[in-house]
Amino acid sequence: MFCKNCGQEIDDKAVVCPHCGVSTQPEAPAAVKTNTLAIVGFVLSFFVAIAGLVCSILARKQCRERGEGGAGLALAGIIISIAEMAIALLYFIIIVIVMIGAAAAM
Ligand SMILES: [Zn+2]
């Protein structure tokens, strides 16, 4: 094969060009940047559900617009936030029912 940098003929098994030292390996595709907001939203979803939900929704929008990674993480943040809010609502409803029941018993 020939070096893609200097054009000299080099051994097919050579990892680097002996003439110019440039790697013969195909360049690794640039790693897709993970959206920062997606990470923030995911972490927040465990502590502050509403903040996590807002960040995750914005992160998904940014991932689409900028082609950044982290859309899956943002989706996880949205699901976790909604699940937490649903559980909190369920507890609230149970407490209200128990209180009404207790009031009615008196
Ligand atoms: Zn070379």
Query: What pLDDT, in 10s, does the model give residues 73-102?
Result: 999 999 999 999 999 999 999 999 999 999
List the shell of residues around ion ligand 1, using CB closer than 5 Å.
Answer: 3, 5-6, 17, 19-20
pTM above 0.75, yes or no: no
Q: Which has the closest alpha carbon to 14: 2, 30, 6?
A: 2
Distances from the Cα of 50 to the Cα of 4, 99, 103, 105, angstroms: 53, 26, 32, 36
Rounded-to-integer distance, Cα 17 and Cα 68, Å:
34
Task: Report how far ligand 1's centroid is from the alpha carbon of 14 (Å).
Answer: 11
User: What is the predicted pLDDT for the residue at 45?
Assistant: 95
Task: Report how far ligand 1's centroid is from the alpha carbon of 6 (Å).
Answer: 4
Query: What pLDDT, in 10s, does the model give residues 5-53?
Result: 999 999 988 889 999 998 888 766 667 889 999 999 999 999 999 999 9
